[in-house]
Amino acid sequence: MLTHAELKQRALSNPKVKENYDALAEEYALAYELLHAREQAGLTQAEVAEKMHTKAPAIARLEAGGKHSPSLSTLRKYAAAVGCELEIRLIPK
């Protein structure tokens, strides 16, 4: 049986898979940042949802990444709910 790392390495050796994987990197980086900020704040998804005046499934979708891009307004509300400020930067290549 393959480990997760071995399976990932095998899958990413396929150029098409690698291309699709790389295309999602930014979305998953955002999802990681959201999840990490919530965990650092010691809050559950339900608690963040309450602070944002929404439902927990909406927070779960936001933290899952991939399917949709949240608006700046949503990101600001999330940041405030977890005690953070939103910072957006463009990094030169």
Domain extents for the chain? 4-82
Where is pLDDT greater, at 67 or 27?
A: 27
- DSSP 8-state assignment for residue 83: T
Residue 66 has pLDDT above 80, yes or no: no
pLDDT in tens, 8-65: 999 999 999 999 888 888 888 899 999 999 999 999 999 999 999 999 999 999 998 8
DSSP string, 14-65: SHHHHHHHHHTHHHHHHHHHHHHHHHHHT--HHHHHHHHTS-HHHHHHHHH-
Q: What letter represents residue 51's amino acid?
A: K
What fold characterizes domain 4-82?
434 Repressor (Amino-terminal Domain) (1.10.260)
At residue 44, the pLDDT reads 98
Q: What letter represents residue 38's amino acid?
A: R
